[in-house]
Amino acid sequence: MSEPEAEMNATRQPGELNETQQRRLLVTCQYIDKLLSDIEHALHSASSRSPFPRYVMDITPTQAASLEDHIRVLRAQLLRTLAWQHMEPNQPEIPVTRLVMTNLAFVNIAIEELRPRYMRGSGAVPQDAIDELDGALHKLASLVEGMERYIGRELDTDAGI
Protein backbone atom coordinates (compact mmCIF):
# COMPACT_ATOMS: atom_id res chain seq x y z
CA MET A 1 0.00 0.00 0.00
CA SER A 2 1.41 3.42 -0.94
CA GLU A 3 1.97 6.06 1.71
CA PRO A 4 -0.97 8.31 0.58
CA GLU A 5 -3.31 5.28 0.56
CA ALA A 6 -2.14 4.25 4.03
CA GLU A 7 -2.63 7.81 5.31
CA MET A 8 -6.13 7.98 3.79
CA ASN A 9 -7.11 4.62 5.28
CA ALA A 10 -5.81 5.70 8.68
CA THR A 11 -8.15 8.73 8.75
CA ARG A 12 -11.09 7.05 7.01
CA GLN A 13 -14.00 5.97 9.16
CA PRO A 14 -15.71 2.63 8.45
CA GLY A 15 -18.32 3.03 5.70
CA GLU A 16 -16.95 6.41 4.67
CA LEU A 17 -16.23 7.24 1.06
CA ASN A 18 -13.02 9.04 0.16
CA GLU A 19 -13.10 12.79 -0.58
CA THR A 20 -13.27 12.35 -4.35
CA GLN A 21 -16.11 9.85 -4.04
CA GLN A 22 -17.97 12.16 -1.66
CA ARG A 23 -17.60 15.04 -4.11
CA ARG A 24 -18.95 12.83 -6.89
CA LEU A 25 -21.87 11.79 -4.67
CA LEU A 26 -22.70 15.44 -3.95
CA VAL A 27 -22.44 16.52 -7.60
CA THR A 28 -24.61 13.61 -8.72
CA CYS A 29 -27.24 14.40 -6.08
CA GLN A 30 -27.24 18.02 -7.29
CA TYR A 31 -27.66 16.82 -10.87
CA ILE A 32 -30.56 14.57 -9.89
CA ASP A 33 -32.18 17.50 -8.10
CA LYS A 34 -31.78 19.65 -11.22
CA LEU A 35 -33.51 16.98 -13.29
CA LEU A 36 -36.30 16.84 -10.72
CA SER A 37 -36.59 20.63 -10.92
CA ASP A 38 -36.94 20.32 -14.70
CA ILE A 39 -39.80 17.87 -14.16
CA GLU A 40 -41.45 20.28 -11.71
CA HIS A 41 -41.06 23.08 -14.23
CA ALA A 42 -42.78 20.96 -16.87
CA LEU A 43 -45.58 20.07 -14.45
CA HIS A 44 -46.23 23.76 -13.87
CA SER A 45 -45.78 24.82 -17.49
CA ALA A 46 -49.53 24.81 -18.08
CA SER A 47 -49.85 27.75 -15.69
CA SER A 48 -47.00 29.63 -17.35
CA ARG A 49 -47.79 32.73 -19.34
CA SER A 50 -45.08 31.96 -21.87
CA PRO A 51 -46.15 32.54 -25.47
CA PHE A 52 -43.75 29.76 -26.44
CA PRO A 53 -44.84 26.74 -24.40
CA ARG A 54 -42.57 23.74 -24.70
CA TYR A 55 -44.61 21.00 -23.11
CA VAL A 56 -48.07 19.60 -23.77
CA MET A 57 -49.82 18.91 -20.50
CA ASP A 58 -50.84 15.30 -21.06
CA ILE A 59 -51.34 14.38 -17.41
CA THR A 60 -54.14 15.19 -15.02
CA PRO A 61 -53.76 17.47 -12.00
CA THR A 62 -54.04 14.38 -9.79
CA GLN A 63 -51.20 12.69 -11.66
CA ALA A 64 -49.11 15.86 -11.41
CA ALA A 65 -49.70 16.00 -7.65
CA SER A 66 -48.68 12.36 -7.35
CA LEU A 67 -45.49 13.01 -9.32
CA GLU A 68 -44.70 15.96 -7.05
CA ASP A 69 -45.15 13.69 -4.02
CA HIS A 70 -42.73 11.20 -5.57
CA ILE A 71 -40.25 14.03 -6.19
CA ARG A 72 -40.54 15.11 -2.55
CA VAL A 73 -39.79 11.55 -1.38
CA LEU A 74 -36.88 11.22 -3.81
CA ARG A 75 -35.39 14.51 -2.59
CA ALA A 76 -35.72 13.40 1.02
CA GLN A 77 -33.80 10.26 0.09
CA LEU A 78 -31.11 12.37 -1.59
CA LEU A 79 -30.67 14.21 1.72
CA ARG A 80 -30.51 10.93 3.66
CA THR A 81 -27.90 9.64 1.20
CA LEU A 82 -25.74 12.70 1.83
CA ALA A 83 -26.30 12.48 5.59
CA TRP A 84 -25.01 8.90 5.47
CA GLN A 85 -21.64 10.42 4.53
CA HIS A 86 -22.06 13.29 7.04
CA MET A 87 -22.61 15.70 4.17
CA GLU A 88 -25.14 18.44 3.53
CA PRO A 89 -26.15 20.29 0.39
CA ASN A 90 -24.28 23.53 -0.18
CA GLN A 91 -26.06 26.69 0.91
CA PRO A 92 -27.36 28.88 -1.92
CA GLU A 93 -24.79 31.44 -3.00
CA ILE A 94 -26.22 33.22 -6.04
CA PRO A 95 -28.60 36.11 -5.42
CA VAL A 96 -31.72 35.98 -7.58
CA THR A 97 -31.03 39.56 -8.60
CA ARG A 98 -27.72 38.46 -10.13
CA LEU A 99 -29.53 35.80 -12.16
CA VAL A 100 -32.14 38.34 -13.28
CA MET A 101 -29.55 40.96 -14.27
CA THR A 102 -27.36 38.38 -16.04
CA ASN A 103 -30.28 36.95 -17.99
CA LEU A 104 -31.46 40.45 -18.89
CA ALA A 105 -27.96 41.16 -20.24
CA PHE A 106 -28.30 38.08 -22.45
CA VAL A 107 -31.77 39.26 -23.51
CA ASN A 108 -30.21 42.59 -24.53
CA ILE A 109 -27.58 40.77 -26.58
CA ALA A 110 -30.24 38.63 -28.26
CA ILE A 111 -32.27 41.74 -29.10
CA GLU A 112 -29.21 43.50 -30.49
CA GLU A 113 -28.40 40.50 -32.67
CA LEU A 114 -31.80 40.89 -34.35
CA ARG A 115 -30.82 44.31 -35.72
CA PRO A 116 -30.71 44.43 -39.54
CA ARG A 117 -26.90 44.65 -39.70
CA TYR A 118 -26.61 41.35 -37.79
CA MET A 119 -29.46 39.69 -39.68
CA ARG A 120 -27.53 40.08 -42.96
CA GLY A 121 -26.03 36.66 -42.35
CA SER A 122 -29.52 35.29 -42.96
CA GLY A 123 -30.01 37.45 -46.01
CA ALA A 124 -30.62 41.17 -46.45
CA VAL A 125 -33.53 42.52 -44.46
CA PRO A 126 -36.08 44.00 -46.89
CA GLN A 127 -36.09 47.81 -46.81
CA ASP A 128 -39.81 47.88 -46.10
CA ALA A 129 -39.29 45.73 -42.96
CA ILE A 130 -36.36 47.62 -41.39
CA ASP A 131 -38.38 50.37 -39.68
CA GLU A 132 -40.88 47.94 -38.18
CA LEU A 133 -38.11 45.59 -37.07
CA ASP A 134 -36.20 48.47 -35.47
CA GLY A 135 -39.40 49.66 -33.78
CA ALA A 136 -40.19 46.22 -32.37
CA LEU A 137 -36.60 45.82 -31.14
CA HIS A 138 -36.66 49.29 -29.59
CA LYS A 139 -39.82 48.36 -27.66
CA LEU A 140 -38.24 45.10 -26.47
CA ALA A 141 -35.04 46.87 -25.42
CA SER A 142 -37.05 49.56 -23.60
CA LEU A 143 -38.95 46.92 -21.64
CA VAL A 144 -35.72 45.20 -20.64
CA GLU A 145 -34.23 48.55 -19.64
CA GLY A 146 -37.31 49.19 -17.49
CA MET A 147 -36.84 45.85 -15.76
CA GLU A 148 -33.16 46.61 -15.14
CA ARG A 149 -34.06 50.04 -13.68
CA TYR A 150 -36.71 48.43 -11.47
CA ILE A 151 -34.25 45.86 -10.12
CA GLY A 152 -31.65 48.59 -9.56
CA ARG A 153 -34.17 50.79 -7.75
CA GLU A 154 -35.41 47.94 -5.60
CA LEU A 155 -31.85 46.98 -4.66
CA ASP A 156 -31.06 50.58 -3.77
CA THR A 157 -34.24 50.80 -1.69
CA ASP A 158 -33.62 47.49 0.08
CA ALA A 159 -30.02 48.43 0.83
CA GLY A 160 -31.14 51.78 2.23
CA ILE A 161 -29.20 53.72 -0.38
Look at residue 9 and tell me if it is in a domain. no
| Of 17, 38, 152, residue with least CA distance to 86 | 17
User: 12-19: which pairs have CB atoms within 8 A and are 24 or more residues apart?
Assistant: 15/84, 16/85, 16/86, 17/85
Label residue 160 left, alpha or beta by phi (over 0 means left) and psi (-120 to 50 means alpha). Answer: left
* Stretch among 1-10, 26-35, 95-104, 121-130 having the lowest mean pLDDT: 1-10
Q: In total, how many domains does the chain have?
A: 2
Using 50, 70 and 90 to split pLDDT, how confident is the model at 2? low
Look at residue 5 and tell me if it is in a domain. no
Using 50, 70 and 90 to split pLDDT, how confident is the model at 161? very low
CB 74 within 8 A of CB 107: no
Supply the range of the domain harboring residue 148.
96-158
Q: Are residues 32 and 73 in the same domain?
A: yes
Q: Are residues 79 and 102 in the same domain?
A: no
